[in-house]
Amino acid sequence: MLGHLSFGVTNVERSARFYDAALAPIGFVRVQTYPDAVGYGPEGQGDKLLIVELAGAAPPGKGFHLAFDAPDRAAVDAFFAGAMANGGIDNGPPGLRPQYSPTYYAAFVIDPDGWRLEAVHQVHQ
């Protein structure tokens, strides 16, 4: 459905440390590196998320967040741990979210620039 998303960040090196740690457990690695940008996607493929250093970059308001599918609950846990160890803000620790579905296991974080992210694993019934 989507080709890729781009996020403006204020410090690409700081953001790359965050995204390297948070996205690796869910199968996204650095696939491109430029002086002012880093692309992430499945290994050996193109980027699905590009972070670009831009003066004055800011995320949209509270209505936006990006959810990444995780292969299992352990990957959700590792996403959260990696994010927290690299400047992320806890916006909902790993756990079941029965208000969404009985199998919806997710973690919510905010990156160093304020982008709202989620990793989710769920079994569709």
Can you list the pairs that 27-31 forms with residues at least 24 positions away whose Cβ atoms lie under 8 Å? Answer: 27/71, 27/75, 28/68
List of domains in the chain: 5-55+65-121 (3.10.180.10)
Q: What is the CA radius of gyration of the chain?
A: 14
pLDDT for the residue 62: 84
Q: Read off the pLDDT of residues 25-42 as tens digits, 9 standing for 90 and up.
A: 999 999 999 999 999 999
Beta bridge partners, 92, equal: 108
End-to-end CA separation in angstroms for the chain: 23
pLDDT for the residue 61: 86
Predicted TM-score (pTM) of the model is 0.94
> Is the model's pLDDT at 94 over the cut of 90?
yes
Q: Read off the pLDDT of residues 58-91 as tens digits, 9 standing for 90 and up.
A: 999 888 999 999 999 999 999 999 999 999 999 9
